[in-house]
Every structure is written in C-alpha cells, then in structure tokens.
Amino acid sequence: MKNVAMIILILLISVASSHPEEATGVVTRIIGGATFEVSSLGCVRLADVMSANPNSQAGLNAREFTRDNLMGTQVFLDIDNKTGQDTGGCWMCVVYKANANGTANLNKNFNKMYVDAGYGMRRDDPQTEFDPMSW
C-alpha cells in the first residue's frame, strides 16, 4: 500500500510541475528571435531552443518571425520549474499562443513553431523540465 501511495504522489508531482498557464500576458517587445518581453512577467526565452546569433542575418530573420507572430499578442507560459531564469534573467518557458476567445491554444506551441519554421533547433537541455521531442 505504501508503494502505491508513493507512485500516485510521484505522478501528481510530475503533472503539477508542468502547466501551460503558469503565467499569461501580452508580448510587448521583441529582443531576439527566441527572447522577448511579456507584460506580466518581463523577459522570456524559449526553453530548449537554440537560436542563431541575434546580430547575424539569420538572427535578424528569426527576430522578424517572432515579431510577426507574437508582438502585441496574448501568450500563455509554461515556466521551467527546474531552472526558472537563465543567467541573463529571462524566464525559460514553453510559449503558447492564445485562441481568439483568450484561452490557451495548446496546438500553437510557439517553441515548436519557431523550430519548424527553421529559425532554431531543438536542444534537449537536461536542466529543464521540458522534453522538446514531445512537441
């Protein structure tokens, strides 16, 4: 019985640690392709995504893609509960775009959209809670 209780506890903790609505806000500034500011939180960086140098042409193209897709839009954030912020103070997140009715659209994972559009690469960082291969 003790083992069953322990398994249930582990399952509940793993489900509770990842939630796409930990924070929400409007994108107010694009810093780079994978980094931007959200009204309620501050600096956000796409978790488990490697991006081009922001000063390169590829980086400028990535920034434009992010601006075209996120600037002024509502987003929902799944904040990494293991690392929290990177060394630059940006929150590591999986970012979801909002539906027209203001709810989270779990089919619009911006981290995945960014990678699929060719502006970044998935990087499974073992220090984060996320598994980018499941996107």
Asked if residue 124 lies in contact with residue 41, where contact means CB atoms within 8 angstroms, the answer is no
Cβ-contact 110, 97 below 8 angstroms: yes
Domain residue extents for the chain: 19-130
Convert the pLDDT of each residue in 33-60 to its tens digit: 999 999 989 999 999 999 989 899 999 9
* Bridge partners for 117 per DSSP: none
CA dihedral 38, 88, 34, 122 (to 10 degrees): -130
Please answer whether residues 44 and 91 qualify as being in contact, where contact means their C-beta atoms are separated by less than 8 angstroms: yes
CB atoms within 10 A of CB 98: 16
Q: How far is C-alpha 129 from the geometric centre of its chain's CA atoms? A: 11
pLDDT in tens, 72-112: 999 999 999 998 999 999 999 999 999 999 999 999 999 99
Give the CATH class of 19-130.
mainly beta
pTM for this structure?
0.83
